[in-house]
């Protein structure tokens, strides 16, 4: 529900977005099926589809008859009708990719950045990659650029905050810098949130999930009530500094015995995974999570250790009665998942309001 009054235009926009979303998730649907899934009448669907067709977002495909009666016509999204860009900034490099309207990766550019690179270098590198990726693409088809970066940052204002321990990165308006350079709408989000998108979009109502990014630090992207939860200051997910041993060793964050420092200083991988599991069990209980996805460089280095040890810890620590289940997954996405998720954020914006 929006907070403001709704009118007929908003009504149509809602239903139009609804139908496009159904077509996207199903891979292709007929008008009859759209009516069933959306709850609208067939006539309403026909009208909206007729409205959509001249915009060339859909492919119309005659379907072979599957029984008596006039065969259904399949409506598919044209993957090349629009495209989105996604980027990720890591400590020593960057990666930018282009996807079509349905989320397939079409092209990818990556490169390295010098140690201690500054904002200008980052903007230059990404903008250059964007230019290359858009070489022969009609500008009107480009929806925008999503950027996943290490937090803390302000998603609403598109600014990186000052906690990054690199010089020159104090309160940088990265979104606007990139928007100016590329001429594109830009979305800036934490890498954990982008990863959460990568692991859920375009599901209609993803399960309550924590996507745990274990790399240099430990953070989570939270999927709650069917969407990414960022919090009022868009800084949710600071899971790494959750206390699991309040009298434990000191961490750089100033606290003692947080998950991150315990994980870092653990004697073995198994121990590290066990401590991570303790923190995750807490998270599951507080948020009633259904699913945990482990992701990141450290996980990729030893997926089985983490899967088994964290899984065992969850089984040990959580009562898990018959009405409660936790699915633990190790991500099957590659390193570029953050860039992919960032592009998905751009796509999600389009599907929420397909102008």
Binding site for a copy of itself (CB under 8 A): 1, 3-8, 10-11, 14-15, 17-18, 38-40, 44, 154, 161-163, 204-205, 207-208, 220, 224-225, 229-239, 241-247, 253-255, 257, 275, 278-279, 281-283, 285-290, 317, 319, 321, 323-324, 352
DSSP label at residue 250:
B
The residue among 40 and 266 lying less far from DNA, judged by its C-beta, is 40
Number of other CB atoms surrounding residue 91 within 10 Å: 13
CA distances from 116 to 90, 112, 169, 248, 257 (A): 11, 12, 10, 31, 29
- State the residue for tokens 């250059």: 128
Q: CA 37, CA 298: separation in Å to the nearest integer?
A: 41
For residue 50, state whether it binds DNA (rule: CB under 7 A): yes
What track of x and - describes contact with DNA for positions 26 through 45 (by CB under 7 A)?
A: ----xxx-------xxxxx-
Q: Minimum distance from CB of 231 to a copy of itself (Å)?
A: 3
Which residues does residue 228 pair with via DSSP β-bridges, in sequence order? 223
Handedness of CA 104, 109, 342, 220 (dihedral sign): positive
Which of residues 1, 2, 3, 8 is near DNA by CB under 7 A? 8
- How many Å is the Cα radius of gyration of the chain? 22
Among residue numbers 66 through 95, which ones bind DNA (CB under 7 A)? Answer: 67-73
The reply to whether 2 sits near DNA by the rule CB under 7 A is no
Give, in order, the Cα–Cα distances in Å from 7 to each of 13, 17, 77, 317, 324. Answer: 10, 15, 27, 50, 41
Q: Quick one: what does residue 25 bind among a copy of itself, DNA, none, with the CB cut-off 5 to 8 Å set by partner type?
A: none
**What gap in Å lies between CA 300 and CA 319, rounded to an integer?**
29
**Nearer of residues 85 and 281 to a copy of itself, judged by Cβ:** 281
Selection from a copy of itself, DNA, none that 204 binds (CB < 5 to 8 A by kind) is a copy of itself
- The residues facing 227 across adjacent strands are 224
**Backbone torsions φ then ψ of 111, nearest 5 degrees:** -165, 170
Please report how close the Cβ of residue 242 comes to a copy of itself at its closest, in angstroms: 4
Site size toward DNA (CB under 7 A) is 30
Binding mask 287-326 for DNA (x = CB under 7 A): ----------------------------------------
Question: Which residues of the chain form contacts with DNA (CB under 7 A)?
Answer: 5-9, 11-12, 15, 30-32, 40-44, 46-50, 62, 65, 67-73
């Amino acid at each position: 529900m929006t907070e403001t009054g709704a009118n007929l235009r908003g009504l149509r926009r809602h239903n139009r977005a609804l139908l496009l979303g159904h077509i996207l998730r199903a891979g292709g649907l007929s008008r009859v099926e759209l009516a069933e899934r959306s709850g609208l009448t067939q006539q309403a669907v026909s009208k909206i589809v007729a409205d959509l067709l001249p915009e060339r977002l859909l492919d119309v495909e005659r379907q072979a008859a599957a029984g008596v009666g006039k065969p259904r016509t399949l409506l598919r999204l044209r993957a090349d009708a629009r495209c989105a860009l996604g980027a990720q900034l890591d400590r020593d490099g960057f990666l930018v990719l282009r996807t079509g309207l349905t989320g397939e990766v079409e092209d990818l550019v990556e490169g390295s950045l010098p140690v201690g690179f500054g904002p200008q270098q980052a903007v230059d590198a990404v903008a250059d990659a964007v230019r290359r990726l858009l070489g022969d693409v009609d500008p009107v088809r480009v929806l925008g650029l999503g950027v996943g970066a290490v937090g803390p940052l302000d998603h609403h204002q598109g600014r990186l905050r000052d906690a990054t321990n690199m010089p020159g990165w104090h309160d940088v308006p990265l979104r606007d810098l990139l928007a100016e350079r590329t001429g594109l709408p830009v979305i800036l989000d934490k890498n954990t949130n982008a990863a959460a998108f990568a692991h859920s979009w375009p599901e209609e109502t993803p399960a309550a999930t924590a996507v745990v990014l274990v790399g240099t630090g430990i953070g989570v992207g939270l999927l709650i009530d069917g969407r990414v939860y960022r919090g009022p200051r868009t800084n949710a997910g600071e899971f790494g500094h959750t206390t699991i041993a309040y009298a434990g060793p000191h961490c750089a964050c100033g606290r003692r015995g947080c998950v991150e420092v315990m994980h870092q200083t653990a004697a073995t991988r198994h121990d590290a995974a066990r401590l991570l599991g303790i923190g995750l069990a807490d998270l599951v209980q507080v948020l009633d999570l259904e699913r945990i996805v482990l992701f990141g460089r450290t996980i990729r280095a030893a997926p089985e250790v983490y899967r088994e040890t964290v899984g065992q810890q969850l089984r040990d620590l959580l009562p898990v009665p018959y009405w409660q289940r936790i699915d633990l997954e190790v991500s099957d996405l590659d390193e570029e998942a953050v860039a992919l998720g960032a592009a998905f954020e751009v796509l999600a914006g389009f599907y929420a309001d397909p102008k």
